[in-house]
Amino acid sequence: MSPTSPASPKSPADPLRPTRRLTTAQALVAFLARQYTERDGRRQRLISATWGIFGHGNVAGIGQALVEAGGGGTGTGTGHGNGAGHRMPYLQGRNEQAMVHAAVGYARQSGRLSAHAVTTSIGPGATNLVTGAALATINRLPVLLLPGDTFATRPADPVLQQLEVPYAGDVSVNDCLRPVSRYFDRITRPEALIPAALQAMRVLADPAETGAVTLALPQDVQAEAYDWPEEFFAERDWHVRRPAPDAFELEAAVRAVRSARRPLIVAGGGVRHSAAEETLAAFTAATRIPVASTQAGKGALRHDHPADVGGIGHTGTATADELARTADLVIGIGTRFCDFTTASGTLFADPAVRFLHLNITAFDAHKLAALPLVADARAGLEALTAALAGRGYRVDPAYETEYTGAKEAWEERIEASFATPDPTARPTQTQVLGLLDALVTGDDILINAAGSLPGDLHKLWRARSRDQYHVEYGYSCMGYEIPAAIGVLLATEARTPHRPDEPRRPVWALVGDGTYLMNPTEIVTAVQENLPLKLLILQNHGYASIGALSESVGGERFGTAYRHRDADGGFTGPPLPVDLAANAASLGMRVLRATTVDDLRKALSEARDAEGPTCVYVETETPDTVSGPPPAQAWWDVPVAETASRPAAVEAREEYDRQAAARRRHL
């Protein structure tokens, strides 16, 4: 990194400081390429690549800067003095929301230690980021958003795609990103980038604060040159801290555990983000406390670990939910205690139940009036294990025998759900999962987010490794799966570069037809990058999950099937003649069609071994009493019409009132 020649104008802040004359966009890209995270001695790029779709709001700014930074992989960029390690790779997306999903998948697979940036143009490109930003922030996953913005200097007002707000001249559509961002700034002058960029990196690398970070970039400011202090481009390491628990809180936690007769751990996503799986296993080995998991926490223990009792809550196992109903101490670790986990406040039924919550954020640690243990999950578990070690705590052997036996009984229900007595029949959804379950190893990664699959997976899937189970259920966003799988593939190959003699990790995106129709566009990206995405499409002709929910709450499955209209105008005619397999093929995927159980078994095996993007397409059958999934083991609060003329709604309201009577506020 060398300063500019003496003839270059200097920054007015310090005429003697070495500077480099770059546009704001060039400076930002050069800055991002030099940011690193460090945790436990491991160092890696904080922003390892930039996704982008270009328009007039960013093509001449960030777009041009990425060319200069060698982002295209052509080797022609000067990189402003960049060495090979300071290039900024560019990834071409097809949909702005999908680019954020891909970045989120990458960040989760990278343990939140590395992230992607996403750049868009002004207007619809920017507002398309909102859904992805909300997903990232809700799930506490880092992504840097760089939307173009309208002119700061306002040479013409309005410009193309500008939202005019009569009462506020400084508002743009990018302000929609404020409530879904953990940090937001609009860079209206080049020099304002310096503090904003540093704050952005601080938030992205902070395990308690991370989420979507937005730097809105007016298109004229992107292209404006400035003399940047050379120190701005120095490599920076952002230490990802592991805060230890407060001594007072730790002692209170020890007392709570030692006094518990029927404790239960609820493992959330924080266990994974902290890489605390082995520490959790050591804690359970010492105490024999059973571990239930949220959607984000599933895989914290392998499915065959003696203490693992499966998913908890509305989509949980009977084993975990029965333990939750009788628990006198619920130990949350890195969970948000959302309504699916608590069964909308009806699950933890013991009148004297207490809560202990180990969480890196005080906001979450105090939920349910819990005893807070504010700390990193791994550091907190290590401290709690050590503090209990000399005090001889272990659950009663009868309690351990109870949950072990209940777990074995649930395994029998899984086997019944996965059974395929007729190999020539069309498979049900749970049979599809059973065939996949029989095929995969701990190397495989499954990605899902919405529909009925998350419930079936949470109850039935046998997680074989800490990162196999990747279900986005904080926002449960339809359309997440395909782009997220691309992000996961990029992350796995970044951590273990592909060699011809080593197979790549199989990454599966599991989608229903409703989710597929929401967002199939990044198939083109997988084809372009030759990523071995395994896409499994389950065709059930509509919104199966919401159809079942609609029926249970008196909605009579209205508007949930993909069918032609009938003579009365309803949607009860024949299924629509939509061929999603042909659609996937038209986007460049190799497609394997399956109509029977045997067909599907062979297609899944072939897809797993494929080196390029491959789709398995299967029409699923309505589940029967043999192979259907077990029903929900706990309630979920979806309010039912208080007054109605149709019998279905009247009956549903009676059931709703009965269930809601068990709801309580834990104070």
What average pLDDT does this structure show over 634-642?
Answer: 95
Shared-domain flag, residues 353 and 227? no
Percent of the chain with pLDDT over 90: 86
65 found inside a domain: yes
Shared-domain flag, residues 213 and 169? yes
DSSP 346-404: TS---TT-EEEEEESSHHHHTGGGPEEEES-HHHHHHHHHHHHHTTT----HHHHHHHH
645 found inside a domain: no
Closest of 190, 39, 36, 28 to residue 111, by C-alpha: 39
What average pLDDT does this structure show over 317-346?
Answer: 98
**Rg of the Cα atoms in the chain:** 26
Shared-domain flag, residues 177 and 285? no
What average pLDDT does this structure show over 254-280?
Answer: 98
Shared-domain flag, residues 293 and 379? yes
* Cα–Cα distance measured from residue 96 to residue 55, given in angstroms and rounded to the nearest whole number: 12
Shared-domain flag, residues 399 and 425? no
DSSP 163-178: PP-TT-TT--GGGGGS
Q: What proportions of the chain, in percent to the nearest 5, are helix, strand and coil?
A: 40, 20, 45
> How distant, in Å, are the alpha carbons of 118, 132, 209, 219, 554 from that of 184?
14, 15, 13, 17, 42
State the residue range of the domain holding 54. 19-239
Residue 436: is its pLDDT beyond 50? yes
Task: Please say whether the beta carbons of 477 and 449 come within 8 A.
Answer: yes
* pLDDT of amino acid 625: 56
Q: Which pair of tokens denotes residue 351?
A: 């009148």
Shared-domain flag, residues 326 and 209? no
* pLDDT of amino acid 74: 35
Strands of the sheet with 42-45, listed across from one edge: 42-45, 35-39, 236-239
* Cα–Cα distance measured from residue 246 to residue 177, given in angstroms and rounded to the nearest whole number: 35
Task: Please say whether the beta carbons of 348 and 330 come within 8 A.
Answer: yes
Shared-domain flag, residues 190 and 224? yes
- Three-state SS string over 284-329 comes to HHHHCCCEEECCCCCCCCCCCCCCEEEECCCCCCHHHHHHHHHCCE
* pLDDT of amino acid 569: 82
Task: Please say whether the beta carbons of 335 and 364 come within 8 A.
Answer: yes
* pLDDT of amino acid 12: 52
Shared-domain flag, residues 403 and 474? no
What average pLDDT does this structure show over 632-649?
Answer: 95
Shared-domain flag, residues 392 and 331? yes
Range from 50-54, 248-252, 623-627 carrying the lowest mean pLDDT: 623-627
Find all residues with CB under 8 Å of 539, minimum gap 6, and list them: 512, 513, 580, 617, 618, 619, 620
Kindly give the interhelix angle for 24-32 and 193-204, rounded to the nearest 10 degrees: 30
513 found inside a domain: yes
CATH number at 285 reads 3.40.50.1220
Q: What b-and-e string marks burial along 73-97, b requiring 16 or more CB atoms within 10 Å of the CB?
A: eeeebebbebeeebbbbbbebbbbb
Shared-domain flag, residues 584 and 443? yes
Residue 103: is its pLDDT beyond 90? yes
Q: Which amino acid, 490?
A: L
1 found inside a domain: no
Shared-domain flag, residues 323 and 271? yes
Q: What is the mean pLDDT of the chain?
A: 93
Q: Which amino acid, 38?
A: E
* pLDDT of amino acid 568: 85
Closest of 244, 411, 192, 211 to residue 317, by C-alpha: 411
CATH number at 494 reads 3.40.50.970
Q: Which of 363, 389, 409 is the last residue of a domain?
A: 409
**Kindly report the CA angle at 349 between 348 and 355, in degrees rounded to 5?**
40
| pLDDT bucket at 501, cuts 50 / 70 / 90 | low
* pLDDT of amino acid 542: 87
Could you count the other beta carbons within 10 Å of the beta carbon of residue 426? 17
- Region of 569 (left: φ > 0; alpha: ψ -120 to 50; beta: rest) is left
- Three-state SS string over 71-94 comes to CCCCCCCCHHHCCHHHCCCEEECC
For residue range 111-170, list pLDDT tens digits in order: 999 999 999 999 999 999 999 999 999 999 999 999 999 999 999 889 999 999 999 999
Range from 496-510, 550-564, 618-632 carrying the lowest mean pLDDT: 496-510
Location of structure tokens 């701990």 = 442
* pLDDT of amino acid 302: 98
What average pLDDT does this structure show over 414-424?
Answer: 96
Residue 2: is its pLDDT beyond 90? no
Domain count across the chain: 3
Q: Which of 194, 219, 239 is the last residue of a domain?
A: 239
For residue range 560-596, list pLDDT tens digits in order: 888 899 888 888 889 899 999 999 999 999 999 999 9
Q: How buried is residue 560: exposed, middle or buried, by Cβ count under 10 Å (0-12/13-18/19+)?
A: buried
Closest of 118, 257, 227, 233 to residue 181, by C-alpha: 118
For residue range 67-100, list pLDDT tens digits in order: 999 866 533 333 343 445 789 999 999 999 999 9
